[in-house]
């Protein structure tokens, strides 16, 4: 119980070491660079591809295959509500603009992760894209990339220590951190 009467449950030592201390920032650098490269490489490959950039035919084909319900076996999309959502996007022709959103989203997420800028937000957006790819029936590497994104989200405070977050986070401030509550040293 804190001095103000608030009940505080401390993190286990391993969680504190991994997610709140810069001791393992080198590990998050490796994870961040790997994940960032995967996103940047994927988006960059689509950027010059007319099937993605000129009308979104690649995404249209992916969505069309994903909403198909085979006579036997399981459909690529297991949840009817998600299949209806993708069908709505298909019917409204949203693939034309959504394909560009995917391409530029992948490039931006990859760039932010590589630079270590707003790492937690970039990891969340990347994880959200992985979740959507999985929901649409594409396993591929998305499960592993989703797991890495979750770990980076948990480590957001230190994952960008060897990156721009080391300066960005203190500059923009975080609402729960008051320098008067802590002794700050330049180490």
DSSP state letters, 151-166: HHHHTHHHHTTTSTHH
pLDDT on residue 46 = 96
* CB half-sphere exposure, 112, CA atoms < 13 A: 20
Instruction: Kindly indicate the confidence band of residue 2, based on its pLDDT and cuts at 50, 70 and 90.
Output: confident
The residue to which tokens 């959200």 are assigned:
128
Cα separation of 144 and 160, whole Å?
20
For 65-115, the pLDDT digits (tens) are 999 888 887 888 889 999 999 999 999 999 999 999 999 999 999 999 999
Render pLDDT for 26-63 as a digit per residue (tens, 0 to 9): 999 999 999 999 999 999 999 999 999 999 999 999 99
Q: How many helices (H) and strands (E) does the chain have?
A: 10, 0
Judged on CB neighbours under 10 Å (0-12, 13-18, 19+), 145 is buried
Among candidate residues 3, 63, 20, the one with its CA nearest the CA of residue 174: 20
The model's pTM: 0.87
pLDDT band at 178 (very low <50, low <70, confident <90, very high): low
Name the burial class of residue 57, with classes exposed (0-12), middle (13-18) and buried (19+) by CB atoms within 10 angstroms of its CB: middle
Position 182 pLDDT exceeds 50: no
Identify the CA nearest to 57 among candidates 89, 95, 25, 26: 95
Does residue 121 register a pLDDT over 50? yes
Reading phi first (left if > 0) and then psi (alpha if -120 to 50, else beta), residue 174 is in beta
Angle at which helices 57-67 and 80-91 cross, to 10°? 140
Across the range 159-170, mean pLDDT stands at 93
Task: Write out the two tokens for 135.
Answer: 């929901």
116: which 2 tokens? Answer: 């270590």
- Mean pLDDT taken over the chain: 91
Spatial separation of the C-alpha atoms in residues 71 and 88, rounded to whole Å: 22
């Amino acid at each position: 119980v804190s001095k103000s009467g608030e009940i505080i449950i401390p993190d286990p030592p391993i969680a504190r070491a991994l997610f709140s201390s810069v001791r393992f920032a080198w590990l998050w650098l490796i994870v961040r660079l790997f994940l960032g490269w995967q996103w940047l490489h994927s988006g960059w490959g689509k950027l010059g591809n007319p099937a993605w950039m000129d009308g979104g035919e690649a995404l249209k084909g992916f969505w069309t295959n994903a909403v198909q319900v085979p006579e036997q076996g399981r459909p690529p999309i297991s949840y009817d509500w998600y299949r209806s959502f993708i069908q709505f996007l298909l019917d409204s022709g949203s693939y034309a603009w959504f394909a560009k959103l995917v391409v530029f989203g992948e490039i931006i997420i990859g760039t932010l992760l590589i630079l270590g800028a707003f790492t937690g937000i970039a990891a969340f957006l990347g994880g959200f894209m992985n979740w959507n790819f999985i929901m649409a029936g594409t396993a591929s590497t998305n499960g592993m990339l989703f797991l890495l994104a979750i770990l980076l989200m948990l480590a957001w405070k230190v994952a960008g220590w060897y990156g721009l977050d080391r300066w960005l986070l203190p500059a923009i401030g975080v609402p729960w951190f008051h320098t008067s509550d802590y002794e700050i040293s330049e180490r």
